[in-house]
Structures are given as structure tokens and as C-alpha cells.
Chains A and B, each alone.
Chain A
Amino acid sequence: MQDVPPSAHPDAPLASATGRRGVSVPDLLVALGVTGLGLLLLLGTFQIPFGINAVVGPRVFPLIVSVGLTALGVLLTVNALRGDRAEPAAEEDTDPNAPVHLEAAGIVLGGFLLGTVLLPTLGFVIGTAIMYFSVALAFGERRWGLMLVVSLLVALVTYEVFTRGLGLNLPPGVLKGII
């Protein structure tokens, strides 16, 4: 999915004022997603059993939230259909005019999930080292040896500080007895 940001104008007063350029599909999908989530919540609300002996049962507040979210989602959908589009946030370290690399975000997410899956068996140090390595990779670092050493070192120091210094209980995994 190549997602080129709309020509970002930092001085533009409002996204909606400049954004009448036809319907943006991603924006529409997000708006429909919000609406759909509201409807799912509404469905879930009706599966909550009525409370007994309660003046206000456990259903009332979820009902308010899900109806509210659905209504707001519909409003957002209407706006999206009228051509509103969201301006991507400008953060520290981001360049609003750079091409978007979703694959870099994918590497971060993939590395995180891989580390999470392996964390119980291989242990905390190796699990978080995988996460560290993948973020460094996604951010364009290519000094492989350095990345490997720093990943393991950061993971190990974090583990030692939090387990020995602060008494947290993190899984040692395969390194049990060594660290």
C-alpha cells in the first residue's frame, strides 16, 4: 500500500478547509471502521445480562458509549464523504514531506510480535533483544555487529536492573542459571 501524504502545508489553517479534493479512501475506511466498532459495541452491550437489585444496571453506561461512538462514526463518515481528509500528525523526528515507508513500521511490529511469541520460551533477554534489533533495523541502522551487541547488552542490562535492582519477576528462559 503506497500511501503518499497529501501535500503537507504546515501553515494551512484547517485540514478541512484545504481538503475538498474528492473522497479519500483511507479516511472513509477509518470513518466506517469507527462506525462499525460502535455497532459491534452496541451488539456486545445487549449481551451483558441485566443486573439484579440495581437501579442502574451494568448495561446503561455501555449503551451510552456505544450509541455515542456509532453516532460520532456516522458524522465522521458524512464528513469523509464530503471530502474531509485528515492531516497526518507532525511529530518530532518525522518529515511530513518524506515518502511513507509502511514496511519500516511493519518491521517494528513484526519484530515486536516475534519477540513476544518467543519471550516465554527463550526468555526476556533474547525476546527484547529481537525487538530492539528490529527497531534499529527499521530506523535504517545497518552496522550489523554493533546492532547485535547493543541489542543484547541493552536487553541484558535492563533485565539485571529490573530483576536484581527492583525485584521484578522477568522470565530468564533458556539463559536460566547463566544470568
Chain B
Amino acid sequence: MDALSALFAGFETALTPINLLWALIGVTLGTLVGVLPGIGPALTVALLLPVTAKLPPVSAFIMFAGIYYGGMFGGSTTSILLNTPGESSSIITALEGNKMARRGRAAAALATAAIGSFVAGTIGTALLTFAAPAIADIAVQIPPSAKFALIMLAFVTISATFGGSPLRGLISLFLGLAVGLVGTDLQSGQARFTLGRPELLDGIDFITVVIGLFAVGETLYVASRLRKDKASVIKLEGNASMNREDWRRSWKPWLRGTALGFPFGAIPAGGAEIPTFLSYTLEKRLTRHPEEFGKGAIEGVAGPEAANNASAAGVLVPLLTLGLPTSATAAILLAAFQQYGLQPGPLLFVTNADLVWGLIASLYIGNVMLLALNLPLAPVWARLLLIPRPFLYAGILVFSTVGVYSLNNSVFDLFLLALFGVIGYGMRRFDFPVTPAIIGVILGPTAESQFRTALQQSNGDFSIFARQPLTAFILVVVALALIVPPILRARAARRAIA
């Protein structure tokens, strides 16, 4: 019951007219930017950070909540009408939803995605409401060595376990860690890797890295191999809506997708990709219309889209309770917290209860707003897909410039932005995933500080990492996650040859 009374207090914060307005602005901007091709939810949040620069923290985070969920909703529109998933968790929606749209069922595909996202988002937020305080209570007792081990687990699962090449993922992670090293060491005051530049004493701002790798890198890469034929945007007649048959076929996939998505978001296991694939496979197995799969089955949109949004809610559990982001978007939210001098983690529920609960309450509100924004206004968002690419990408670059320049009013940061843009280009060209680098930049300094705190408490005795039971257990899992997949792969390859 404790969580409920705290939630009511949160609603009191979130339901003030001014905060409702920020929530509305957040969901609108989030949807708007999320719909634009080439911009996923992570970049949406990063690009919109400067917009909140002058807001008080509570309003800023209420707005972030809207942007976060709004970016997810907007992405499904792009996937369905343009067949271009902005991120790996939208691949299934693009696959099945675009086929539906091609068969003239765009309205139903958009509706089942939006309503499914609403259902999953609301249930996921409810689970977050009750799980988060409980986990925060336990998390207070986790020692620094185990926190370090948890961060290692997040590093390994995000960079090495999934994705095409574990090696490339790990290299991306280490590049991020290296960038995170630049600046003054907070514990000893020593300058590290600053090349004598005073601008680097404060370190490299994660926003510069995120916007450089994502936005500038993307612009450079797309410019170099632009698709010349016009992208075929499917025209949408009228609102997003579903008939009785669609409802009958959608509601169970929504619930099953939610059940799959939330736990996968909540454990540090590499985000929303896995549950969307699992949900798709599950629906394919359970459906009474297997012949429609691959040709536009509504279950194949409803389930994965719900899984995607439920995992977005699940991601907030480790973020708020442990300060542990399990997706690129969550990592940027974490960094946004840090900009306000707040450290997400178990203590946040004690020291900033009004902020956390205002944020959680605004997730419920944002979900309702998004439903209202997305069903009747779907044709409006669809028009955004028609913006000519030269003007769209030029606009993205200008907004990137504002975001980075306004950090420190420094031209030096813009040169850094260009540098990370070139690196981002290279990463796309040579198939290095960007997300591990982002996680490395943002979480690297935290990892180092937990590592050193743990060793200081043990007076420099490294065996603390083996003696503390929870730490040892997590580190064994980390080692297994690193070692087992390559062995399995090698064995499978040998069997294929034999």
C-alpha cells in the first residue's frame, strides 16, 4: 500500500496544469521526432535535452517521460508506413506491419500498434510502480563490489552477447570507456588524457558523443549512400482504427507481448530486441491464421509492439532502482539525471521521492495522451514522412549543433561533434554497433568509481570480488556470458562442416 500512497502523491505533482503541459509537450515532441526517419528514441531524447535546460527537475523529467514513450509510439508509424525500422526492436513491426499496410490495412496496423503500446505501457508502468520500491529497498544493501559486477554484466550483455559480432560490440564498448576516461579524475584530481586542452578537463560531454555518433554519423553515412528512388510511403486513409475482428485477434497478443517484454527490459539483457522476436515467434505458433504471417498478420504487429513498449517500461526498473541503464535510451536518461546532479539508484526513492513518483505518475498520463494523439492524428504524423530527405537531414544537423553548442557555448565542442560524427560514420561503415559505445561513455565513470570504492573498503585486496558472494555470482555469470556463446558457435560451425 506504500507504493499506492506514494503514487497518489506523484499524481498530485504530475497533475498540476503546468506539469500536464510539459507532459503534453513531451509526448508531442517525442512522437514528432520519433516519426522522423533516421531518428530513434535514444537520439530523440538526446536532441531534446537542451529544450529542458531551463526547467526545474520535476518538470524536466515529466517531459522526458513523455519524450521517451512518445519516441516509441512514433517509431511504429515509420516502421508501418515506410518499412524502415529506426531501431532493432522495430524490425518485426516493420516486417509485418508494412505488409499489412501494403494490403490496405494501414489504419488497423497503426491502431493495433498504438493501442497495444498503450496497454503494454500502462501494465508495464503499473508493474514498475510496485516492483521499483521493493527492488530499491533491497538495492540499498548491495555493496560497491556487486554494483561493479552488475555494471560488468550490463556491459557484456549489451555489447557481446547479442548482435552480429561480439568482438565488434566489445570494441565499441571499449571506445566508449576510453572516451569516458578523458578529464579530471574525481578521486585524485589528476588530469587524464586531456592532451593539455583546458576544454577537456571537465571531460567530454556524453551529449556530444551521442549526437555525434547517432545524428552526425547518420547524416554522413546516409549522404554517402543515399537511396535515390523515392521511398514509398503508404497513404493512410482516415484515422487509425480497428474493426471487431481486429480487436478479437489483438487483445491476447497485447497481453502476451507485455508479459514477455517487461521482464526482458527489467533484467540487464540487451533491451527490447529479444522479446519482440520471441513475441513474434509465439504469436506465429499460437495463431489460427498461420498463412497470414509474413504477409501482414495483425497478431504479428500487436504482440511485438506490445513487447517493445512493455520492455521500455521494464527498462526503467533497473534505471531508477540501481542506476543501471540497459538500453541506449535509458543510458541517456541516466545521464540527464546526472546533469541535474541526481544519481538514480535506491537512494533516489528516499531523497527525491517527489521527483521519482511524479515521473512514474506522468508515465500513466503520457500513455493516455499518446493514445489520444496517435489514433485520430495518425494522418498528421504520416505526413511527416513526406519531408524531402535533403531538408530533413539538414534540419537534424542544425538541431544537433544547437544541442551541443548550448552545453558550454563552446566552438571546441562542435569540433568534437564533427570528430564523433566521423567516428560514427566509420562505425556504420565497418559494422560496429553504436549502443555499447554510448553505454561505455555514460557508465564507465560509474564503473570505475564503484571499482575503486570496493577496493578502498577492502584496503586494496582484490579478492573482495571473489569473496563477496553476490559479486562472485554475478561475475561468474559475466564470464559465462562471454565464454559460452563463442563455444556454442564454434561447436555449431564444426558440426556444420562435419
State which residues 403-462 of B face A: CB under 8 Å. 405-406, 409, 411, 414-415, 418, 421-422, 425-426, 428-432, 444, 447-448, 451-452, 455-456, 459-460
Q: Are A94 and B415 neighbours in the complex by a CB distance under 8 Å?
A: no
Say how far A106's CB is from chain B's closest CB, in angstroms: 9
Contact count band on A = 35 or more
Q: Taking the complex as formed, is B351 at the interface, i.e. its CB lies under 8 A from any CB of chain A?
A: no
Q: Are B418 and A112 neighbours in the complex by a CB distance under 8 Å?
A: yes
Q: Are B228 and A98 neighbours in the complex by a CB distance under 8 Å?
A: yes
Q: Are B225 and A109 neighbours in the complex by a CB distance under 8 Å?
A: no
> Given A100-B225, A131-B397, A139-B226, A58–B192 Cβ distance below 8 Å?
yes
Interface centre among A5, A89, A151 (most CB of B within 10 A): A89
- A34 closest partner in B (C-beta): B171
Chain A residues near B170 (CB, 8 Å)? 72
Q: Taking the complex as formed, is A170 at the interface, i.e. its CB lies under 8 A from any CB of chain B?
A: yes
Chain A residues near B418 (CB, 8 Å)? 109, 112-113, 116
Query: CA A164 – CA B225 in complex, angstroms?
Result: 38
Point out the residue from A93, A109, A136, A147 that lies within 8 Å of B37, measured CB to CB: A93
> Given A55-B459, A92-B84, A155-B398, A168–B225 Cβ distance below 8 Å?
no
State which residues 144-179 of A face B: CB under 8 Å. 147, 150-151, 154-155, 158, 162, 166-171
17 A-B pairs (CB sep. < 8 Å): A5-B225, A15-B165, A30-B430, A37-B175, A52-B188, A65-B174, A65-B177, A69-B171, A88-B431, A93-B38, A94-B222, A101-B225, A107-B223, A109-B421, A112-B414, A140-B226, A168-B54
Chain A residues near B37 (CB, 8 Å)? 92-93
Query: CA A133 – CA B66 in complex, angstroms?
Result: 32
Q: Taking the complex as formed, is A119 at the interface, i.e. its CB lies under 8 A from any CB of chain B?
A: yes
> Given A56-B451, A76-B167, A88-B429, A93–B188 Cβ distance below 8 Å?
no
State which residues 65-106 of A face B: CB under 8 Å. 65-66, 68-69, 72-73, 75-76, 79, 86-89, 91-96, 98-102, 104-105
Q: Are A58 and B188 neighbours in the complex by a CB distance under 8 Å?
A: yes
> Given A112-B216, A141-B390, A104–B223 Cβ distance below 8 Å?
yes
Q: Are A68 and B390 neighbours in the complex by a CB distance under 8 Å?
A: no
Q: Mark B16-56, 1 if CB is under 8 A from A, else 0.
A: 00000000000000000000011000000000001101100
- B170 closest partner in A (C-beta): A72
> Given A108-B223, A141-B388, A56–B456 Cβ distance below 8 Å?
yes
Say how far B38's CB is from chain A's closest CB, in angstroms: 5
Say how far A99's CB is from chain B's closest CB, in angstroms: 8
Q: Are B426 and A62 neighbours in the complex by a CB distance under 8 Å?
A: no
Chain A residues near B82 (CB, 8 Å)? 92
Q: Taking the complex as formed, is A32 at the interface, i.e. its CB lies under 8 A from any CB of chain B?
A: no
Say how far B106's CB is from chain A's closest CB, in angstroms: 18
Chain B residues near A133 (CB, 8 Å)? 394
Say how far A54's CB is from chain B's closest CB, in angstroms: 6
Chain A residues near B460 (CB, 8 Å)? 55-56
Point out the residue from A66, A113, A135 that lies within 8 Å of B394, measured CB to CB: A135
Query: CA A109 – CA B420 in complex, angstroms?
Result: 11
State which residues 365-398 of B face A: CB under 8 Å. 388-391, 393-395, 397-398
Chain A residues near B181 (CB, 8 Å)? 41, 61-62, 65
Chain B residues near A88 (CB, 8 Å)? 225, 428-431
Q: Mark A100-131, 1 if CB is under 8 A from B, else 0.
A: 11101101110011011101100010011001
Chain A residues near B388 (CB, 8 Å)? 141
Say how far A94's CB is from chain B's closest CB, in angstroms: 5
Point out the residue from B171, B178, B429 that lies within 8 Å of A66, measured CB to CB: B178
Q: Are A51 and B51 neighbours in the complex by a CB distance under 8 Å?
A: no
Query: CA A119 – CA B271 in complex, angstroms?
Result: 39
Q: Taking the complex as formed, is A25 at the interface, i.e. its CB lies under 8 A from any CB of chain B?
A: no
> Given A56-B451, A139-B393, A140-B226, A48–B190 Cβ distance below 8 Å?
yes
> Given A86-B431, A92-B37, A139–B411 Cβ distance below 8 Å?
no
Q: Mark A16-41, 1 if CB is under 8 A from B, else 0.
A: 10000000001100100010011001
Query: CA A61 – CA B394 in complex, angstroms?
Result: 39
Q: Taking the complex as formed, is B3 at the interface, i.e. its CB lies under 8 A from any CB of chain A?
A: no
- A49 closest partner in B (C-beta): B190
Q: Are A131 and B429 neighbours in the complex by a CB distance under 8 Å?
A: no
Q: Taking the complex as formed, is B258 at the interface, i.e. its CB lies under 8 A from any CB of chain A?
A: no
Q: Taking the complex as formed, is B161 at the interface, i.e. its CB lies under 8 A from any CB of chain A?
A: no
Query: CA A54 – CA B395 in complex, angstroms?
Result: 48
Interface centre among A75, A102, A120 (most CB of B within 10 A): A102
Q: Are A104 and B226 neighbours in the complex by a CB distance under 8 Å?
A: yes
Q: Are A135 and B390 neighbours in the complex by a CB distance under 8 Å?
A: yes
> Given A58-B190, A86-B430, A131-B394, A168–B50 Cβ distance below 8 Å?
yes
Q: Are B414 and A154 neighbours in the complex by a CB distance under 8 Å?
A: no
Q: Are B231 and A93 neighbours in the complex by a CB distance under 8 Å?
A: yes
Point out the residue from B165, B178, B411 that lies within 8 Å of A65, measured CB to CB: B178
Point out the residue from B50, B224, B452 that lies within 8 Å of A101, measured CB to CB: B224
Chain A residues near B428 (CB, 8 Å)? 88-89, 91
Q: Are B421 and A112 neighbours in the complex by a CB distance under 8 Å?
A: yes
Q: Are A95 and B228 neighbours in the complex by a CB distance under 8 Å?
A: yes
> Given A98-B225, A162-B406, A61–B178 Cβ distance below 8 Å?
no
Chain A residues near B293 (CB, 8 Å)? none
Point out the residue from A15, A30, A147 that lies within 8 Å of B164, measured CB to CB: A15
Q: Taking the complex as formed, is B218 at the interface, i.e. its CB lies under 8 A from any CB of chain A?
A: yes
Query: CA A40 – CA B390 in complex, angstroms?
Result: 39
Q: Are B178 and A170 neighbours in the complex by a CB distance under 8 Å?
A: no
Point out the residue from A54, A95, A138 that lies within 8 Å of B223, measured CB to CB: A138
